């Protein structure tokens, strides 16, 4: 594969965002750590010296279009710049990723709500369970007391 330079950053979050977008769109890439402290990335998950991302020449244009919509520095996130983008400006691949993310988020919210309801039901049953365990414990102590008295009577 003939590699072509695509992106570089000292910010590991930016590097991860670019890598995620490329993965989601089935674009093979190579991430090369920079600097003498690059080995620390393995231990701490940080790009201490930064990283460069390379893609094949055939995927370069598609990859470039995908990452141009990832805004990293604050000047690109001003309201006026955001308003200028229309739906047509955003590549179809990114819209699909957004839709998939929204569906996953909705499913997680639904699951969380179901878990909360289950938790409330379990908590409302808690006093009944405690009472049940208390009755069993009292019964066990009563049986132990009777057995102790029977042993005393047999021993005498």
E strands, 34-113, where? 51-56
pLDDT digits (tens, 9 = 90+) for 70-82: 766 544 444 444 4
Buried-state track 70-85, b at ≥16 Cβ within 10 A, e below 16: eeeeeeeeeeeeeeee
Q: Where is pLDDT greater, at 20 or 118?
A: 20
In the predicted model, what is the mean pLDDT of residues 2-22?
Answer: 88
pLDDT digits (tens, 9 = 90+) for 108-156: 777 777 777 777 766 666 677 777 778 888 888 888 889 888 888 887 6
Sorted by where each begins, the domain ranges of the chain are 3-75
Instruction: Identify the architecture of domain 3-75 in CATH.
Output: 2-Layer Sandwich (3.30)
- Provide the mean pLDDT of the chain: 76
């Amino acid at each position: 594969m003939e590699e072509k330079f695509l992106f570089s950053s000292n910010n590991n979050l930016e590097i991860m965002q670019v890598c995620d977008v490329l993965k989601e769109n089935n674009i093979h890439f190579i991430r090369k750590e920079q600097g003498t402290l690059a080995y620390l990335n393995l231990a701490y998950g940080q790009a201490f010296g930064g990283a460069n991302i390379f893609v094949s020449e055939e995927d370069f244009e598609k990859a470039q279009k995908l990452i141009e919509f990832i805004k990293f520095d604050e000047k690109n996130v001003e309201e006026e710049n955001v308003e200028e983008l229309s739906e047509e400006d955003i590549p179809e691949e990114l819209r699909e990723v957004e839709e998939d993310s929204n569906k996953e988020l909705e499913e997680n919210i639904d699951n969380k709500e179901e878990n909360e309801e289950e938790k409330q039901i379990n908590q409302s049953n808690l006093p009944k369970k405690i009472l049940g365990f208390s009755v069993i414990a009292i019964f066990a102590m009563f049986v132990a007391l009777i057995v102790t008295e029977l042993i005393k009577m047999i021993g005498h």
